[in-house]
Amino acid sequence: MSIASEIEKRRTFGIISHPDAGKTTLTEKLLLFGGAIQSAGAVKNNKIKKTATSDFMEIEKQRGISVATSVMAFHYSGKQINILDTPGHKDFAEDTFRTLTAVDSVILVVDVANGVEAQTERLMEVCRMRNTPVIIFINKLDRDGKESFDLLDELESKLNIRVRPLTWPIGMGDRFKGVYNLYRENLNLFQGNKTGISDEIVPIQDLSDPQLDELVGEEPAAELREEVEMIEGVYDPFNQDEYLAGELAPVFFGSAMNNFGVQELLDTFCEISPAPRGRETDLRKIEPTDSKFSGFVFKIHANLDPKHRDRIAFLRIVSGKFERNTFYKHVRLDKKMKFPNPTSFMAQDKSVIDEAYPGDVIGLYDSGNFKIGDTLNEGENFMFKGIPSFSPEMFMELENQDPMKSKQLDKGIRQLMDEGVAQLFIQQPGNRKIVGTVGQLQFEVINYRLEHEYGAKCRFVPKNFFKACWITTDNEEQLEEFKRAKTRYIAKDKEDNLVFLAETQFLLTMAEQDYPDITFHKTSEFKLEQV
């Protein structure tokens, strides 16, 4: 089969949402429809002890939240679907941001009761920056929530995107009867079904059909007819080109927990969503149809399998065909590498693959060669752009509580930093380790993983820093003067780049004014220019 037809078969997308909107549950139900799992578990709560398929780290199972991006692949309707399920918690927004560089489109899950929440807006901003096509799934229709038209208005105003409903709910909460598929003009009647697949779909070509009144009742049928008439009058017809340009978001309604409205979403997604897209490099844009292989690492995960101390780099293939046991160039290290056991994923279940194509996400066993943002290709000197680290917002000093386990602590913290969980800054004298994160929860995850995966005990002591800025300059004299004046606030990151740890916004502004030849970088994107 040609590379072009393999590319056309693939759909790689991320699922994003505010915490608790039902994102991981929706992921699970998509896997159920794809035949990747036989029955759905539930995200852990007080009554249900099963855990979601895509939450595999022990701390995720305990807390019932996703803190690491999971990668899952399955076949459906002639397509290979690659799902990247992201953390919803705001403390892990950077992991989600990097994941969004590896997908071609996004499904955004919104809770019908809570509507658009703060984290939803932040995630959507990232999608808007990249013009990523977005489909919106309004979840939990089996519970009472905001009126559907009010929700659509809220989506447009807060997310800065036009919307077009492709399914429409009949009632809500106790009155929820089903969804009418505006796109295909048929009706799906609601039955609470948490583990199986609902298949009671009734073709209703014309809403004036008296069968509608018999199926859902006269009052709900009359309400549906009126609302659909309003939709057709207010909203323009669905335009696929506008969706692919990131200008229009189709909207679906349903209940992921009860497996309802999910099939309409999946069927339409397969039909309208984009095939794998190209990516920008520091030289030119690389298209999927380019004959030579290329890809980039957007995530690294240590100890994916607690029984084996493995480290896996997640590689998004951009162009060409990846083949097992073939030498490829690691551009940053300028060396050739081959991979005897590349893997595809079904959450934590991995299987070795012989080949992979643009859009696929594969796992490469890594002994410490990879960093986030690394490029692999067939020999050309280019690096993919747009996978930066951001300046952290919280800083704590790492203190070792068991001197006998110093080596384990050192190894553990460096491996976790390579994953992009947080950032490590070393201060002298004394090799003091300052860890910077976006939120408090990351410190808890680091502490837990250091103890349970590396056998190292530590504690975190808060430090009063406002921002970490990478510094570069051509004026060596001014740099030496700056380092003398700010000795207490100078550190190095794990790649030996100089970093200024500013205590306040005022002191950062003053430093920028006093040392005009020094550039204070708020992200690590500048490193690409030095490659």
What SS3 string covers 41-102? CCCCCCCCCCCCCCCCCHHHHHHCCCCCCEEEEEEECCEEEEEEECCCCHHHHHHHHHHHCC
Q: 387 versus 80: which is more confidently predicted? A: 80
Is 394-530 assigned to CATH 3.30.70.3280?
Answer: yes
Q: Is pLDDT at 387 greater than 70 in this prediction?
A: no
Residue 126, CA atoms < 13 Å, CB-side half-sphere: 25
Q: Is pLDDT at 86 greater than 90 in this prediction?
A: no
Q: What is the mean pLDDT of residues 476-486?
A: 92
Neighbours of 477 (CB within 10 A): 9
Chain-centre distance for alpha carbon 5: 26
Q: 131 is written with which tokens?
A: 């013009």
Q: What is the mean pLDDT of residues 306-326?
A: 83
Q: What pLDDT sits at residue 339? A: 94
Whole-number average pLDDT of the chain: 83
Q: 491 versus 89: which is more confidently predicted? A: 491
User: Are the CB atoms for 136 and 110 separated by under 8 Å?
Assistant: yes
The fraction of the chain above a pLDDT of 70, given in percent, is: 83
Taking the C-alpha atoms of residue 388 and residue 386, their distance in angstroms, rounded to an integer, is 6
Nearest to 224 by CA among 191, 200, 189, 196: 189
Give all strands (DSSP E) within 86-236, no chain letters.
105-111, 134-139, 162-165, 167-170, 178-181, 186-189, 201-203
Give the model confidence (pLDDT) of 45-75 as tens digits: 333 333 454 444 554 455 444 334 467 888 8
In the chain, ranges of CATH 3.40.50.300 domains: 5-9+11-272, 279-377
Taking the C-alpha atoms of residue 397 and residue 393, their distance in angstroms, rounded to an integer, is 14
Domain made up of 5-9+11-272: CATH architecture: 3-Layer(aba) Sandwich (3.40)
Neighbours of 371 (CB within 10 A): 18
Taking the C-alpha atoms of residue 337 and residue 320, their distance in angstroms, rounded to an integer, is 17
Q: Which of 418-427, 431-440, 455-464 has the highest mean pLDDT?
A: 455-464
With tokens 């490029």, the residue in question is: 375
End-to-end CA distance of the chain: 37
Give the model confidence (pLDDT) of 247-290 as tens digits: 999 999 999 888 888 888 999 999 999 999 999 998 999 999 99
User: Are the CB atoms for 296 and 353 separated by under 8 Å?
Assistant: no
Residue-wise burial string across 335-357, b where 16 or more C-beta atoms lie within 10 A, e elsewhere: eeeebeebbbbbbeebeebeebb
Q: What is the mean pLDDT of residues 162-191?
A: 85
Q: What pLDDT sits at residue 148? A: 93
Q: What is the mean pLDDT of residues 4-29?
A: 88
Return phi, psi of residue 444, to 5°: -65, -40
In this prediction, residue 137 has a pLDDT band, given cuts at 50, 70 and 90, of very high
Domain made up of 279-377: CATH architecture: 3-Layer(aba) Sandwich (3.40)
Strand ordering across the sheet containing 423-427: 458-462, 394-400, 432-437, 423-427, 490-493, 498-502, 467-472, 519-521
Q: Is pLDDT at 301 greater than 90 in this prediction?
A: no
Nearest to 83 by CA among 33, 12, 132: 12
Q: What pLDDT sits at residue 446? A: 85
H or E segment at 377?
strand 375-377
Beta bridge partners of 139: 111
Beta bridge partners of 471: 520
User: Are the CB atoms for 186 and 207 separated by under 8 Å?
Assistant: no
H or E segment at 436?
strand 432-437
User: Are the CB atoms for 230 and 115 separated by under 8 Å?
Assistant: no
With tokens 């939450």, the residue in question is: 55
In the chain, ranges of CATH 3.30.70.3280 domains: 394-530
Taking the C-alpha atoms of residue 378 and residue 389, their distance in angstroms, rounded to an integer, is 26
Taking the C-alpha atoms of residue 487 and residue 394, their distance in angstroms, rounded to an integer, is 20
Give the model confidence (pLDDT) of 341-373 as tens digits: 898 865 445 678 899 999 999 989 888 788 888
Q: What pLDDT sits at residue 530? A: 46
Q: What pLDDT sits at residue 311? A: 77
Neighbours of 383 (CB within 10 A): 19
Q: What pLDDT sits at residue 442? A: 77
In this prediction, residue 494 has a pLDDT band, given cuts at 50, 70 and 90, of confident
Flag the least confident range among 123-127, 284-288, 340-344, 513-517.
Answer: 123-127
By three-state DSSP, how is residue 213 classified?
A: helix
Q: 203 versus 479: which is more confidently predicted? A: 479
